[in-house]
Amino acid sequence: MGNYLAIPAILVIRSGQIASPTEAPVEETLHRSFGYIVAYILPGLVALWAASLIWTDVPISTYLDARADVSASGWFFLIFGSLGIGLIVSSVRWLLVDTIHHRTGLTAPRIDFSRLQDRQEAFLTAVEHNYRYYQFYANLFVSLVFALFGSVAQVSGLWSAKTYAAVVSLSVLLFVASRDCLRRYYVRLGQVLGQSASGKHKKH
């Protein structure tokens, strides 16, 4: 089964030509930027905090302390560090969470890429309204699991039972939400590109 969900929605297709990101409308650019923030940077920030629990000799926690006077370079470290870690988290998500969803009943639709140009607006809407949120829920789930392992390895000791219960409950909620968002994305993707989520051709 091919992986049709990880289609980059960076370029805008108009009138048979591919427009550069600078030519895209401001509102569209803002929506896309928000999607990248929730999909990569926020989960990456949580993973970065989880890493600070394990590698205490690396001053990551200094940049994450709200009371600290973080310099401009510190903010760059937080943003780009979170983005980089978020991309790594996303690859772990693809390897583990995507596989679990696919092995337990979710099926990626067979799509016709030749129809993408005529339906790119609907496709981008499906990406931004469904797939980005799937990435957020699933990537944050991976980051929280990493944080759970980090809490066991940290020198300062374990969390309280209530904290573990809250984190585990949130992780379960994120996993369930990620499955629902991926299911909705597959359904919309099949509708937009002319085939159903079950992989069967629609009758015309």
* In the predicted structure, residue 16 carries a pLDDT above the cut 80: no
Q: Is the dihedral of CA 25, 30, 33, 38 positive or negative?
A: negative
* In the predicted structure, residue 155 carries a pLDDT above the cut 70: no
Quick: pLDDT tens for 164-194.
Answer: 999 999 999 999 999 999 999 999 998 998 6
Q: How confident is the model at residue 157 (pLDDT cuts 50, 70, 90)?
A: low
Residue 18: Cβ within 10 Å count: 11
pTM across the whole model:
0.76
Q: Which of 28, 11, 29 is nearest to 20 (CA)?
A: 11
* In the predicted structure, residue 2 carries a pLDDT above the cut 60: no
Q: What is the pLDDT averaged over residues 142-150?
A: 92
- Residue 61 CA to residue 21 CA, distance in Å, equals 35
Quick: pLDDT tens for 30-42.
Answer: 667 888 899 999 9
Q: What is the mean pLDDT of the chain?
A: 79
Residue recorded with tokens 């809250």: 166
* In the predicted structure, residue 17 carries a pLDDT above the cut 70: no
> What pLDDT is attached to residue 6?
45
Query: How does strand 17-19 pair with strand 12-14?
Result: antiparallel
Q: What is the pLDDT averaged over residues 99-112?
A: 92
